[in-house]
Amino acid sequence: MIDFKKLAEKNHPYVVEMRRYFHEHPELSTQEVNTSKRICEELDAMGIPFTAYPDYTVIATIDSGKPGKTILIRADIDALPVTETTGLPFASKTPGVMHACGHDTHGAMLLGIARSLNEVKDQLCGKILLGFQVAEENLKGSRTMKQYVLDMGGADHSLAVHVGNARDIGTITVVPGPFASGVITYKTFFYGKGGHGSMPHAAIDPIKPACEYVLKLAALPTSQYDAKDPIVFSTCTIQGGSGAPNVIPDDAYVFGTVRYFNKTLTEKIQHDIETLADCVARTYGCTSKVEYTFDPMIPVENNPEVTAICQEVARGMGLNLVTEEMGMGSDDMAMLVDAFPGCYAWLGTANPAKGIDHVANHNSNFTVDEDALAYGTEFLMKSAWELLNR
């Protein structure tokens, strides 16, 4: 049996080094040029074959040369448009861009896994694919990674962890079934005819249907969906008019999201958003158009059998295991666990004793206890090993 704990500890300084490099040099979604380049350089130095794609995705392969399953381990590598306030000695050197969601740690852990598994390749069976994924924050990267993996022959299972400070170091959340919500981001326009506020009968006011639409969207969960399927419509922007009190505008729009956990509802939600917009608009003599800022992202739904194996691994490591939790945040790992039955886990990285408090991801003061990364690399390696050998 491979001592994965020892491997993780041995390569932990390397993981920390790479995490700090990525943190200091963050790049936004679809702009991960130098991040991808550095990953390729590191893989080259390890002698691990890889494919670097035009969109900056990198997929490396550790092939044992023996028959067996193929396991994909994924790490997202993009940063956010956030100005860092941590004061860390390795804080972002890119103004207005920061690894505020921990993707720097994900990429670093995967490089540590690459180095570790490459050392014990002859003791493995099958293949391990190491997927360095771009553009998670705009929910695009996993769609292309999914296709790249399919082009390589596919994978039997997929694995990933996400760091977060909601829980302390030594804790891992591994939940079967729906785990993170799907999201649909809608922008609905209402088109009328502008005019003077003193003569509304000579205009077609788009503000009234926009307002009514917001209220009717909020009522949809109780009238159109099973109460056992959590779903939240949140319209967070309503815009119309120039600011003048006596000018009826030509158009108005509302902008918001839907969060949900039942992936079979994706098409119905879109249908309801569009049908309701059309009905409300026509009531007021307007027309409507719905645009989706991002392609809809299905919920993260962990495979129960794979998750049970990952829970065994976590228990064997002595981690504090959380097995029941559903979050309304979304992640495009959903596409990969859906295509390649797998498990997505959350790794606790807070440590108040070190001043690393329970600061939310996407916060300008977000950082992690780097000691937790050794748990993440060990967990993923052990989980992959178990999946290869069952």
Q: Which two tokens stand for residue 179?
A: 């785990």
Residue 149 burial (CB count, 10 A): 22
> Which of 204, 89, 104, 121 lies closest to 163 in space, CA to CA?
104
Are 123 and 201 in a shared domain?
A: no
Bridge partners for 160 per DSSP = 344
Task: Judge if 285 and 304 occupy the same domain.
Answer: no
What's residue 17's pLDDT?
98
In the structure encoding, which two tokens stand for residue 198, read together?
């003193």
Query: For residue 148, what are its two tokens?
Result: 């790249």
Q: Is 203 in contact with 195 (CB distance < 8 Å)?
A: yes
Does residue 231 sit in the same domain as residue 211?
A: yes
Residue 164 and residue 56 share a domain? yes
Q: Are 165 and 360 in contact (CB under 8 A)?
A: yes
Shared domain for 102 and 146, answered yes or no, is: yes
Dihedral, CA of residue 355, residue 358, residue 363 and residue 364, to nearest 10: 0
User: Residues 25, 151: one domain?
Assistant: yes
**148 shares a domain with 23:** yes
341 and 193 belong to one structural domain: no
Whole-model pTM: value is 0.94
**Could you give the angle at the alpha carbon of 299 between the alpha carbons of 177 and 265, nearest 5°?**
105
Question: Could you say which of 235, 269, 292 is where a domain stops?
Answer: 292
CATH of the domain at 23: 3.40.630.10
Confidence of residue 40 (pLDDT cuts 50, 70, 90): very high
Dist. CA 341–CA 158, nearest whole Å:
6
Domain boundary among 253, 268, 292: 292
Out of 248, 264, 292, pick the residue that ends a domain: 292
Q: 196: which strand partners?
A: 247
At 362 the pLDDT is 97
pLDDT grade, residue 1 (50/70/90)?
Answer: confident
CA dist list (Å): 215 to 14, 64, 260: 53, 58, 19
Domain that holds residue 257: 182-292
Rounded CA-CA distance 160/344 in Å is 5
* Residue 56 shares a structural domain with residue 148: yes
pLDDT of res. 85: 98
Tallying the residues shown for the chain, one arrives at 390
CA-to-CA distance for 72 and 374, rounded, in angstroms? 19
Q: What is the CATH number of the domain that holds 246?
A: 3.30.70.360
Identify the pLDDT of residue 294.
86
Token pair of 346, please? 């959350």
What integer pLDDT is reported at residue 328 of this predicted model? Answer: 87
Residues 203 and 154 in one domain: no
Let me know: does 45 contact 62? Beta carbons within 8 Å: no
Give 53's pLDDT tier (boundaries 50, 70, 90). very high
- pLDDT tens for each residue of 253-284: 999 999 999 999 999 999 999 999 999 999 99
Pair 146, 211 in one domain:
no
| Cβ-based burial of 54 (10 A; exposed 0-12, middle 13-18, buried ≥19) | exposed
| 8-state DSSP, 353 | G
Query: Are residues 49 and 61 in contact, defined by beta-carbon separation less than 8 angstroms?
Result: yes
Q: Are residues 8 and 136 in the same domain?
A: yes
**Three-state DSSP class for residue 251:** strand
Q: How many domains does the chain have?
A: 2
Say yes or no to pLDDT of 21 above 90. Answer: yes
